Structure 1
Amino acid sequence: MSTDLNWLWSVLQKEGEAGATNDLAGGIDAVMRAAIRGEPRESIIRKIYRNLPSSGYSGWGIDDRKLWLKRALATIESELKSKTIVAPKSSGSISAKKGTAETRRSKSDSGRTSAKKNIPPGDLGLDMSLSEAGSGLTKTDLKKLADSKEIHTIRDALYYFPRAHNDYSTVVTKATELIPDSTQTFRGTVRRTYVRKTKRGLFFAEAVLNDVEGRPVKAIWFNMFRNQSQIAQRMPTGSDVALAGKVKLKGRSLEFQAPEIEKLDPDEAQGRIAGRYAPVYGLTEGVSQQKVRGALSRILEKFLSRIDDPLPEKIRKGRDLMPLQEAILNWHLPPSEEMLMLAQRRISFDQLLVNQLQAIDRRNQWVQGNGHPFVDHSPAEAFMNELPFTLTTAQSRALSEIQEDISASAPMARLLEGDVGSGKTVVALSAMLSAVANGFQAVLMAPTEVLAEQHYRTLLKLMSRSDDESEALAGMIQTPGFDRNVRMVLLTGSTKGKERNSALDALRHGAADLAVGTHALIQEGVEYSKLGLAVIDEQHRFGVLQRAALRKKGEIVNDSMDPATPHLLVMSATPIPRTLRLASRGDLAFSRLDELPAGRSPVTTKFVRGMERVEAYGRIREEVENGHQVFIICSLVEGSDVVEARSATEEFARLQSEEFGKYADKMTLVHGRMPAAEKESAMRRFSNGEFMIMVATSVVEVGIDVPNATVMLIEDADRFGLSQLHQFRGRVGRGTAAAYCYLAADQPTPEAEQRLLTLEANTDGFKIAEADLEYRGPGELFGTEQSGEGATNLFAAALLDIDLISAAKEDAETMLAEDPGLKDPKHRLLRYKVPNIQSGNLVLGEVH
């Protein structure tokens, strides 16, 4: 670190002693800005700084400042200890005790960490390092859990929930009560144990227990015990022991195979796992389930009572939710399935509530910006009236909603959702032309250069009513409804030299009305004269940082107009189930395109196995002969010994030599491991018609528009989700010719086969999205995959609960309407979870 943590600790401690008055020279904001200079993004100092509001320390009241100071000091103290750096001694006004930052000599790495006496009291102490908790874990264990599971603090450990529970609640004591191929818990007395090494070098352990009637019950393990003393220590002869696990029939007798072991107190009816629902935690290599269970049991016992409940009592009781401490305990160690579900419901509600608070605040911050109303829509309407086709009812409705938004002084923040081919682009273009008609610029951002170029050509054709792309050279387009030419520029990472300088100059001085491109449109050095509207392809994952960059681009540079926030229109690449939209897009108003334009025929879809591919290959040859193009999708880039699936590289070579030799020089290969320039080139040449057959991985799910493509063959289709398959299918049938999609899978599971049959019978993207959610769950919501841990999986599952989401949304809106900025003391802990929340008048906005 470049900043001295001891120095920062001393400064913040003095500020606390002074009563958090911010009277130190320069103020705490200046101190923190200096402290983060040169610090890496993941540093502890930047973490502390990120917990300040956007208005800075000075924008907070005394109570909020004191809370931040306490947490900041605790975080620094924990970091100093972990780095074995001696911190200054505290005078005691902020920390719990004098000398809380002193480093004590720790035990050796092989020893277990013990509880320290200097953990601050109450909830504050939960942000201390887990090494301070006396968990019984070694330093090596702690490092592994921190690196792989991100368990750093005591609070992290309390919220490290099981990914599942084993039902060991029913304990049998008679051998006759054991059932083959079932998971059971047996309690007996150890008769004998032994360990031997097999000829293959495996360690084989066996134990025999007596049931209450003296009948033997056997258990075996491989490579768990390496000598007699190990097993004897866990299962002393004559001791009372519980075995929990799978029961197998071996000959005429039953035996446990690799069961869990628990030594029991003869006077107790239950143990830690015996007679209970035993937690199953996600593990990392070298840290056993037994270790994690033991550590978390100790942490729950010592620290659970410190947890402060951030949920106001009125909301908790009104929603019939379990108290937080009770919920945490019952998720880790539930007495019944019912209590587990109630615990999970409470924790999920907290996550959903914070999510909704953040979403509403994002919307509020955006729409409270100084926007510019577009009052004249007549040129755009005249343009739309000249189109050679009629808008669908859904397009007209969406356009009306968008026009209402952009006519207001508050900046628009709207999601335009539609199925593949529903006509989102023409709706977006109308809004862009309204910006131009009112003297503003508009941009359209795409996720890839190929798609940006295709958008550019599509807009050019729509505006010029011509297939002649010669106008693109100058970008000057004679557009119906306008008494002057509209100028459009293309700006991507590949735009270089004079072309790039010309585009930048035109945008800066207002000579360009429209810009189409990639993230290059909001990079440093790109300036706009009057940016009024941004249309974003949702696949671009347009986040908080990009929004901030876009808002900055809205600052007017060529006249005296005030800085403004551009209107924002996000286009969804695929239909979003209602529950996910409510949870993940709560900051955006909503317009839906649920009709396909007239003349668009549904893609004929067929599920094929094995030799039935012959039909698909025949269709491919026929379509190529007729001048049409083909996609062939593979799930893997290269062959795998683990996964039985066709790889793109191997299938490309096989198809060239065996099936489509006649068209070998007209075939191209695209996958994610190719250099970006090579991949873009191949996709561009296919789009331009130089290649007739493309073999690719999922990189073509979005980002390529080829109206001439009429056949899609998806190999190992059972390895993809429904919505992804629907996206693949949407790459064909974009022109007027009939299109076909073949779903090839040789040995799908019954569940996978049902998915494929669902797609074969259905072309409605909204129904498919709902079905996919039901089959697979929310998946990669919020840009992260499910990690397999309890909290992540449960939150994902909660996103299927429309009632819980609606309740969280309603409470978040009420809370912010009554207390903008969450400054009420009862909302103090919730405010800390949304540190940059803004006060002011809320604009909650109806979702259409």
Structure 2
Amino acid sequence: MVLYLSKKLKGGADIAQSLSHLKRWLQVAQLSDDIRYLKGIGEQRAKALSKLGINTLGELITYFPRSYEDRSKILPIAAVPHNETACVSAIVVTEPSLSRVRRGMELLKLRVCDETGSIDITYFNQSFIKNQLKEGQSYIFCGKISCEGSRRSMTNPLFEPEDAPRLLTGRIVPVYRLTAGISQKLLISLIRQGLELCRDILPDPLPESVSEKFQLCKPAYAFENIHFPADAAALELSRRRLIFEELFILTCALTRIKDAKVRKSGIIVSSPRLDDFLSALPFIATDAQRRAIEDTFKDMQSGRLMNRLISGDVGSGKTLVAAACVWAVHEGGLQAAFMAPTEILVNQHCTTFNKLLSPLGVKVAKITGSMTAKQRREITSKLKEGEITLLVGTHAILSEDVEFLRLALVITDEQHRFGVNQRAALVSKGSEVHTLVMSATPIPRTLALMVYGDLDVSVIDEMPSGRQKVDTFVVGEDMRERIYIFIRKLVSQGRQVFIVCPAVEENEERPREIKSAVEYSKKLSQEIFPDLRVGCIHGKMKASEKDSVMDAFVDGGLHIIVATTVVEVGVDVPNAALMVVENAEYFGLGQLHQLRGRVGRGEHKSYCVLFSDFEGEQAKARLKVLEKESDGFKIAEEDLKQRGPGDFFGGRQHGLPQMKIADLCTDLRILQAAQEAGRETLRLDPCLKRSENRALKQKTDELFLASANTFN
């Protein structure tokens, strides 16, 4: 080996490459090793694998199959049905014959047989196979068999020697997502290599007591059988173990974040008498609102940091809870910051907070990216001097020039648009700052820890009195004229109308029937309703333009506003009585529920019309859920089932790691068990200092490396 290594060095290979050869020879590997240490991986293949997120041995063996093909049954040739894919064990009875039929086309032909019959096999442009198939030897062939009379044939079947270890035939075979330059056969062989190297070094992050309680298999067994299952039972055991492990680690990581924040000191905000605040309101707060406010007051006067989520359906009154917290901060001579995702919402929240808090002497101001330098300097100066209690803003609030005198409370709206790190950036503008998060996007309760794992949760499950039920209808194109008549009727009664389109502008690559806000608003104003005032608002407009259109609609200057989903969250126009959504099939149920929540906010009877001409029964049934259901939590559960976690969470998972094997739609039972086990593990060992939890601590630390101080 020393001679081998010295030759390598003299030949110009660098030390790192030589050490990799030595490591391979000694069968010593680490999960962090570069994928290029594997046999058959050069620069090009390494680049291709990198596109799949595979750069290390650890990433290779945790690149799990997306599905499986059961090739475990090996049938007699005569028993294989016509046009079915099957595996057969057969002997090559003719020497493979290679012929060139035309330029760029070569055929390799051979015949194989067993005791029941024969098959003629043809390979197109795979001349290299001629040297791999030997006359008189037995192989397992797998492919689609065609029958013409008594003659059977196969084209380009997979094959493996019958007496060799099988990866592709005669077993349950994994199917992976691929990229250019990487075939199933290559990836399977690389994973086989990787598992051979890593089998004895796989860490086990699960405490032995947890594995025993939930009857979970060992990591080596799980990784072997998730990629190369011995049978269906072994595959199920492996999946269950790896899903449990992933959810258990995430539960522990998020719980550690929460516990670390609880251990931190927070500014003590002496809670004033809640009745003094509630009695000054022009309406009566619900019991659910009162409970949520009491939760926050207890948090802020505990001496510990508050990290609380206020979760409620559309229109349940979360802003009142935030206003009560700001008032408490004001009474203590402190300051608060409120961050919203769009300038439209900043303006609206600023107006709402002023209505609620100005009578109580609370100074509210806003800051946005579209402000002039002079306006910005004026606001930042007053903020630094402590003259402003509450600053409402977009991401502009994170800028370095925004300085608070005594920041005590940070409030973020629609948590799914702000990740853990962005909240932390805002909190860092003060010392011992409390955090309140408001979300009008109901998440199924069983998943709350996965999305809001670092927060305590208060649920507002009661609607304010006077909140109208919005009648919802799913209609086709045949109802369009009747809807236009209905719009005109509502406008004549003094009401206003939202119309939402899935696209901003027409696009040649999109189907023509998909409505775009710009073109459709022109058609409505010029052809359908030339006597009505129609406005248009979308995300590509300048902030000042959006503000101008929205202000005109809020003030009653526009009868109809055509928009994209920029109006999805929070926009409050009590006079709007109809929401029309075009091409509703392109939206998720939760998103449609949010849009529906833009109407029915005043005293007028309100309606939601969902236009969809999708012919599929499943698509229609999906939308019909909204006709029957108005509970946002139930709609969210249905949305999750139908669309899957990827689409459902989308940006809402920002700040959380991607799931590699767990499926939040189908693995809820395992999730509940993993959460129970994770919380109990941390109850017994909060800092994971015990030796049996060393691997678990390392795994939880790795999940949130982007935030160096996550657990500090």
Is residue 384 of structure 1 aligned with residue 384 of structure 2?
no
Letter of the aligned partner of 1:610 in structure 2?
E
- Indicate the residue corresponding to 2:536 in structure 1: 668
1:152-301 pair list within 5 angstroms: 152-178=55-81, 180=83, 183-189=85-91, 210-213=112-115, 215=117, 217=119, 225-226=124-125, 229-230=127-128, 232=130, 240-245=138-143, 260-265=157-162, 267=163, 271-301=166-196
Please list the CA deviations of residues 188-236 of structure 1 after superposition, one character each: whole Å capped at 9, or x if unmatched: 45667778779xx996968675553564556778xxx336x25645666
- Indicate the residue corresponding to 1:363 in structure 2: 258
- Indicate the residue corresponding to 1:91 in structure 2: none
Please list the CA deviations of residues 132-169 of structure 1 after superposition, one character each: whole Å capped at 9, or x if unmatched: 122x23321111111x1121111111111111111112
Hey, what's the Cα distance between the residues in 2 that align with 1:767 and 1:161?
Answer: 32
Q: Secondary structure of the equivalent of 2:174?
A: strand
- Residues 1:402 and 1:195: Cα distance change in structure 2 (over 3 Å): farther
Is residue 327 of structure 1 aligned with residue 225 of structure 2?
no
- Residues 1:540 and 1:282: Cα distance change in structure 2 (over 3 Å): closer
Hey, what's the Cα distance between the residues in 1 that align with 2:101 and 2:577?
Answer: 63
Hey, what's the Cα distance between the residues in 1 that align with 2:509 and 2:100?
Answer: 33
Hey, what's the Cα distance between the residues in 1 that align with 2:401 and 2:33?
Answer: 43
Is residue 409 of structure 1 aligned with residue 303 of structure 2?
yes
Counting matched residue pairs gives: 689
- Indicate the residue corresponding to 1:21 in structure 2: none
CA contact 1:635–1:648 (8 Å) conserved in 2: yes
Match of 1:720 among 572, 587, 606: 587
Q: Secondary structure of the equivalent of 1:351?
A: helix
Q: Secondary structure of the equivalent of 1:740?
A: strand
Match of 1:318 among 213, 217, 228: 213
Please list the CA deviations of residues 385-431 of structure 1 after superposition, one character each: whole Å capped at 9, or x if unmatched: 23232222322222222222222111211111011111111122112
- Residues 1:491 and 1:260: Cα distance change in structure 2 (over 3 Å): farther
Is residue 151 of structure 1 aligned with residue 46 of structure 2?
no
Hey, what's the Cα distance between the residues in 2 that align with 1:144 and 1:118?
Answer: 24
Hey, what's the Cα distance between the residues in 2 that align with 1:416 and 1:403?
Answer: 13
- Indicate the residue corresponding to 1:763 in structure 2: 630
- Indicate the residue corresponding to 2:708 in structure 1: none
1:427-826 pair list within 5 angstroms: 427-463=321-357, 477-479=358-360, 485-539=361-415, 541-555=417-431, 565-637=432-504, 638-639=506-507, 641=509, 646-648=514-516, 652=520, 655-656=523-524, 660-662=528-530, 666-670=534-538, 672-673=539-540, 682-683=549-550, 685-702=552-569, 704-779=571-646, 792=659, 794-795=661-662, 797-798=663-664, 800-826=666-692
Mean Cα displacement is larger for which, 326-335 or 304-313? 304-313
Is residue 126 of structure 1 aligned with residue 31 of structure 2?
yes
CA contact 1:605–1:743 (8 Å) conserved in 2: yes
- Indicate the residue corresponding to 2:707 in structure 1: none
Letter of the aligned partner of 2:536 in structure 1?
T
Hey, what's the Cα distance between the residues in 2 that align with 1:400 and 1:175?
Answer: 76
- Residues 1:628 and 1:809: Cα distance change in structure 2 (over 3 Å): same
Hey, what's the Cα distance between the residues in 1 that align with 2:459 and 2:449?
Answer: 14
CA contact 1:706–1:731 (8 Å) conserved in 2: yes
Hey, what's the Cα distance between the residues in 2 that align with 1:784 and 1:238?
Answer: 59
- Indicate the residue corresponding to 1:398 in structure 2: 292
Letter of the aligned partner of 1:226 in structure 2?
N
Letter of the aligned partner of 2:359 in structure 1?
Q
Letter of the aligned partner of 2:268 in structure 1?
P
* Deviation (angstroms), 1:706: 2.9
Q: Secondary structure of the equivalent of 2:466?
A: coil
CA contact 2:370–2:543 (8 Å) conserved in 1: no
Hey, what's the Cα distance between the residues in 2 that align with 1:196 and 1:645?
Answer: 50
- Residues 1:440 and 1:336: Cα distance change in structure 2 (over 3 Å): same
Hey, what's the Cα distance between the residues in 2 that align with 1:509 and 1:205?
Answer: 84
- Indicate the residue corresponding to 1:98 in structure 2: none
CA contact 2:35–2:41 (8 Å) conserved in 1: no
Q: Secondary structure of the equivalent of 2:303?
A: coil
Q: Which has the higher contact order (CA 8 A, sep 6+)?
A: 2
Please list the CA deviations of residues 605-658 of structure 1 after superposition, one character each: whole Å capped at 9, or x if unmatched: 111123123333332333344443333333344435475750415752673378
Letter of the aligned partner of 1:140 in structure 2?
Q
Mean Cα displacement is larger for which, 684-693 or 418-427? 684-693
Hey, what's the Cα distance between the residues in 2 that align with 1:197 and 1:645?
Answer: 48
CA contact 2:338–2:391 (8 Å) conserved in 1: yes
Please list the CA deviations of residues 572-596 of structure 1 after superposition, one character each: whole Å capped at 9, or x if unmatched: 1211101210222222111111222
- Residues 1:340 and 1:674: Cα distance change in structure 2 (over 3 Å): farther
CA contact 1:123–1:307 (8 Å) conserved in 2: no
CA contact 1:580–1:778 (8 Å) conserved in 2: no
* Deviation (angstroms), 1:171: 2.1
CA contact 1:239–1:263 (8 Å) conserved in 2: no
Q: Secondary structure of the equivalent of 1:755?
A: helix
* Deviation (angstroms), 1:510: 1.5
Hey, what's the Cα distance between the residues in 2 that align with 1:120 and 1:231?
Answer: 30
Hey, what's the Cα distance between the residues in 1 that align with 2:138 and 2:365?
Answer: 80
Q: Secondary structure of the equivalent of 2:605?
A: coil
* Deviation (angstroms), 1:435: 1.4
Hey, what's the Cα distance between the residues in 2 that align with 1:336 and 1:644?
Answer: 49
Is residue 141 of structure 1 aligned with residue 45 of structure 2?
yes
Letter of the aligned partner of 1:759 in structure 2?
L
- Residues 1:713 and 1:691: Cα distance change in structure 2 (over 3 Å): same
- Residues 1:501 and 1:276: Cα distance change in structure 2 (over 3 Å): same
Hey, what's the Cα distance between the residues in 1 that align with 2:107 and 2:479?
Answer: 51
Structure 1 unmatched ranges of 5 or more: 1-80, 87-100, 106-114, 464-476, 480-484, 556-564, 839-843
- Indicate the residue corresponding to 1:58 in structure 2: none
TM norm structure 1: 0.74
CA contact 1:128–1:154 (8 Å) conserved in 2: yes
Letter of the aligned partner of 2:388 in structure 1?
A
- Residues 1:207 and 1:391: Cα distance change in structure 2 (over 3 Å): farther
TM norm structure 2: 0.87
Letter of the aligned partner of 2:419 in structure 1?
G
Hey, what's the Cα distance between the residues in 1 that align with 2:25 and 2:160?
Answer: 35
CA contact 2:578–2:599 (8 Å) conserved in 1: yes
Q: Secondary structure of the equivalent of 2:440?
A: coil
- Residues 1:131 and 1:836: Cα distance change in structure 2 (over 3 Å): closer
Hey, what's the Cα distance between the residues in 2 that align with 1:814 and 1:343?
Answer: 23
CA contact 1:636–1:646 (8 Å) conserved in 2: yes
Alpha-carbon RMSD: 3.6
Hey, what's the Cα distance between the residues in 1 that align with 2:107 and 2:585?
Answer: 41
Letter of the aligned partner of 2:489 in structure 1?
E
Hey, what's the Cα distance between the residues in 1 that align with 2:23 and 2:238?
Answer: 31
- Indicate the residue corresponding to 2:201 in structure 1: 306
